[in-house]
Amino acid sequence: MLRGENEWPLARTQWTKYFLQPDEMQLRPGMRSQSATLDYDTSSDGLTFSTPPVPNSLEITGPVAAKLWVSSETTDADLFLVLRVFDSAGKEVTFIGSNDPRVPVGLGWLRASHRKLDPQLSRPYRPWHKHDEKWPLTPGEPVELDIEIWPTSIVVPAGYRIALTVRGKDYEVDGNDAAPPNAPYPMKGVGPFLHVDADDWSPTIFDCRNTLHFAVSHTSCCRSFPRRKLSEKPAAGRNS
């Protein structure tokens, strides 16, 4: 359904931060006060943080970004973020993408050594990385990462959950290939856009364990999270 709008991001957006809660693996508005760490193997499905079931239908329209504090066993790390929605039965809701029949709400990527930001172009909802030099990691030492997640527009029904998954490899819906016979590439959630090039991905660097760090000084959150209750009226203007 088309709706008239006047600007992007929407001027009436309620920018909201959801903090990653390691004790209950939840996304909540409140910040935790105690320090904690969570490890994950980069070859695994990673770590998923979920909101409680939303009490009312909720629209998410606009850009999304995450701030994470991450360390690696090696001198670099690949971060794959997945913004997801799960129904009341716990089944993930996927959508038809341009190159894959099952895609999540949003995806984001960052190689930790490319974390350098452009302060002039970056916004709270859209970090802008310069990619003009590499900043290697010191093994075991956490660094601050700002990661853009693709903009989206979705209505989450009451009783559903919003989730953020942090992984060390490409997202897969359920491991099953949905491609038809003779398809030119697998269709497991990201279409042909796989990060498996041997010239760019070394197992000695990226096949390891990463650690998420949580503390008041190391705040991990899904930041600038755009939300709007459906009871609010949109402004008249261009179709979006």
Question: For the chain, which residues score pLDDT lower than 50?
Answer: 229-240
* Residue type (1 letter), 217: S
- Which tens digits make up the pLDDT trace of 85-106? 999 999 999 999 999 999 999 9
Q: For the whole model, what pTM was predicted?
A: 0.89
204 DSSP 8-state letter: H
Cα–Cα–Cα angle for 47, 67, 21, rounded to 5 degrees: 45
Spell out the domains of the chain, with CATH numbers in brackets: 16-31+46-174+215-231 (2.60.120.260)
Closest CA relative to residue 67, chosen from 105, 25, 23, 117: 117
pLDDT of residue 134: 97
- Which tens digits make up the pLDDT trace of 142-164? 999 999 999 999 999 999 999 99
pLDDT of residue 31: 76
pLDDT of residue 177: 87
Q: Are strands 36-41 and 209-214 parallel, antiparallel or unpaired?
A: antiparallel
- DSSP assignment string, 105-121: SEEEEEEGGG--B-TTT
Q: From the CB of residue 129, how many other CB atoms can be counted at a distance below 10 Å? A: 18
pLDDT of residue 218: 67
Q: From the CB of residue 163, how many other CB atoms can be counted at a distance below 10 Å? A: 21
Q: From the CB of residue 132, how many other CB atoms can be counted at a distance below 10 Å? A: 8
